[in-house]
Amino acid sequence: MAKITLILGGARSGKSVYALSLAKTCKKVAFIATCEAKDKEMQERIRVHRKVRPETWKTFEEPRDLVPILNKMGSGFECIVVDCLTLLVSNLILGGYKEQEILRKARAILDNLKKKKARVILVSNEVGLGLVPANRLGRDFRDTAGKVNQLLAREADEAFFIVCGIPLRLK
């Protein structure tokens, strides 16, 4: 069974850096990126993220449907990093998915990952610490992302909250 680590934090808190530091202790790493490059600024962010990952890692880019990728990769990896689940939720909401459908997808991803014999590192933003969003889409995103994070945290073996690059153990 997989050992699942959830890493939460705010924007630019150091979540991905911490996830990479944990994954670098393994030889065969699968990195699942959920971001879509929809503008030049995001293309540059993706370029920088790719540059800091070791070339020996296998990268899978999938913005919405992770289960087929997880099935395809089999059991050949020591570590699987998913960065980031918040972007996955955002992509799904913008794709017209409702909260219950997104929670079902998150459950399916978690169930699949639990069967792996790899270390699993999940990265997600904690989005509930700020202001209440001014519009419905923002509130739906915040609420759904929060529920996905709760699901993952409940079932993770360990969880960390990153503040200013410092990991705080939650579980």
Q: How many CA atoms lie within 13 A of 28 on its CB side?
A: 8
SS3 state of residue 105: helix
Is residue 49 among the annotated active site residues? yes
Residue 167 β-bridge partners = 162
Please identify which of the residues 49, 50, 142, 147 carries the catalytic annotation.
Answer: 49
* Residues in Cβ contact with 72 at an 8 Å cutoff, skipping those fewer than 6 apart: none
* Residue 61 contacts residue 11 (beta carbons within 8 Å): no
Q: Is 88 left (phi over 0), alpha (psi -120 to 50) or beta?
A: alpha
Active site residues: 49
